[in-house]
Amino acid sequence: MSLDPARVLDLDPLLDDPDTRIVVCCGSGGVGKTTTAAALGLRAAERGRKVVVLTIDPARRLAQSMGIDSLDNVPRRVKGIDDSAGGELHAMMLDMKRTFDEIVEAHADGERAAVILNNPFYQSLSAGFAGTQEYMAMEKLGQLRARDEWDLIIVDTPPSRSALDFLDAPKRLGSFLDGRLIRLLTAPAKLGGRAGMKFLNVGMSMMTGTLGKLLGGQLLKDVQTFVAAMDTTFGGFRTRADATYKLLQAPGTAFLVVAAPERDALREAAYFVERLAAEDMPFAGLVLNRVHGSGAAHLSAERALAAAENLDAEAAEDLESTAVENLDDARIVDQEGGKAGLRNSPDTYGSSESPASETSAPDGSEGPAGSDGSDEGSPAATDSTDATDRTDTPPHGHRTVEQLTAGLLRLHAERMQLLSREQRTRDRFAALHPEVAVAEVAALPGDVHDLAGLRDIGDRLAANRPELPETDA
């Protein structure tokens, strides 16, 4: 089912527009955000833009697909792209601690910076404090934009709903660093001397004593030392966070929500769409990855299953008829002395001797056995070979044409049922958000692991071609 033309997301005009300076790809985990971000970056670069792709995902997929050994906090030039239009492509992965260190080094003199960087509380904060990664992503985005070295920045966000935490994290971390608790903790250090002691005697000693028991005396001291050293940069944290937040709301920014045509993924996508609208963020549309299709969509699942059952029934009748004919053939069944024994009798299973070697010759004598368990050229050997050639029963592990066709029909029925589920899920999303423009990308047979694969994804995104392309033999 094709999309309503009014709801088709046209990505090339977005990438080509010089006023588009930031594209943010967000969505739940495992839906292809990193691949989408890299494919868009490559396409924009090959169309003449100077692009940097910033990933917050620690996985190495982006580096591998771009032919880079590893990514770090410094943009790396991607080689092998078509730069005939004058574009460039760079890629980098956020190093949360290194970005925090850079902020300290940029806003404190050498001595004060050394105190902060060596402070145990700072080391814990910069390595994994809640919200630090998202805050540093905002800082890095602000740094890249301020350098004005690239005319397009594409951001690949963390998975799940935390992908939008970078909208909240700067406020949370800024509130923590500027908060009343931190100010109270640093009050004694700021007052100093007798004034500090007097303040503590008024009641501060009770609070710090309680916190010392909860946090540990050394940790409390580390926090106080850290905050005292960072005091001159507190205002900068909140100021830069607010500036970057406004940058995300500016007309030059575009948010793309990436999802798969699955219930949970589109439910998350609906959350992203609503949240972005609530934050007044410029939302461009939805990229729907891994959409399945079929070249025989006119054949419904019901008809395919019915045809498969008919073929199975015909195959069963043919096998039964063949079995009866084979049993009636005297050359398949030996009938001597009132006994009927199949040459392939299960009684000899596991025996080192061939069943044919135990079968008496017509004159009652046993002939010498060949290497295959029968006398070459003897009537018994010839008859056995002829019988095998004439049977219509498929060898072990093989299937008749009817059985193969029935299996293919069942696979087609499963595919059509999958297509039906995906379409119902997409229809529900469209009913909730009819205003959202959508670009679809086909489910590919394998992972994208190089520039050629990224280029193919970019072509599909721009052309809205969910179907697989025709390839030369």
CA–CA distance, 136 with 157 (Å, rounded to integer): 12
Instruction: Give the DSSP H or E segment for 427.
Output: helix 401-432
Strands 50-55, 152-156: pairing kind: parallel
Q: What are phi and psi of 336, to 5 degrees?
A: -135, 135
With beta carbons less than 8 A apart as the criterion, state whether 82 and 89 touch. Answer: no
- Residue of 117, 131, 152 lying closest to 56 (CA atoms): 131
- Provide φ and ψ at 346, rounded to 5°: -65, -15
Residue 81 to residue 43: CA distance in whole angstroms: 9
Residue 359 banded pLDDT, cuts 50, 70, 90: very low
Name the more confident of 67 and 327: 67
In Å, what is the CA distance from 288 to each residue of 9, 170, 411?
10, 29, 24
Residue 243's alpha-carbon distances to 246, 254, 360, in angstroms, are 5, 17, 98
pLDDT computed for residue 429 by the predictor: 94
Q: Determine which of 52-56, 207-211, 291-295, 434-438 has the lowest per-residue pLDDT on average.
A: 207-211
Burial class (CB in 10 A: 0-12, 13-18, 19+), 455: middle
Q: How many Cα atoms within 13 Å fall on the side-chain side of residue 275?
A: 19
Q: For tokens 């019915």, name the residue.
A: 306
As a whole number, the mean pLDDT across the chain is 74
CB atoms under 10 Å from CB of 340, counted, come to: 9
Torsional sign, CA 196, 198, 204, 206:
positive
SS3 label, residue 75: coil
Dist. CA 172–CA 144, nearest whole Å: 22
- Average pLDDT for residues 422-443, to the nearest whole number? 91
What is the per-residue pLDDT for 120? 83
Q: What is the pLDDT of residues 92-140, one digit of tens each?
A: 888 888 888 888 888 777 888 888 888 887 887 777 666 677 778 888 8
Structure tokens at 194: 């007798």
pLDDT at 208: 44
Backbone angles phi, psi at 282, to 5 degrees: -70, 105
Evaluate if residue 51 carries a pLDDT over 80.
yes
Query: Is-contact 343 359, C-beta < 8 A?
Result: yes
Res. 184: pLDDT tops 80: no
- Strand-strand pairing, 438-442 and 152-156: unpaired
Q: In this structure, is the dihedral angle defined by the CA atoms of residues 102, 108, 111 and 114, taken in order, positive or negative?
A: negative
CB–CB of 234/243 below 8 Å? no
DSSP state of 357: G
Q: What is the pLDDT of residue 348?
A: 43
3-state per-residue secondary structure call for 279-329:
CCCCEEEEEEEEECCCCCCCCCHHHHHHHHHHHHHHHHHHHHHHHHHHHHC
Note whether 331 and 386 are within 8 A (CB). Answer: yes
376 or 80, greater pLDDT: 80
**Neighbouring residues of 22: CB distance < 8 A, sequence distance ≥ 6:** 141, 145, 152, 153, 154, 155, 247, 248, 252, 253, 254
pLDDT band (50, 70, 90) for residue 7: confident
Is residue 340 within a helix (H) or strand (E), and if so which, with residue range? strand 339-342
Q: Hey, is 369 helix, strand or coil? A: coil
Measured in whole angstroms, how far is the alpha carbon of residue 324 from the centre of its chain?
55
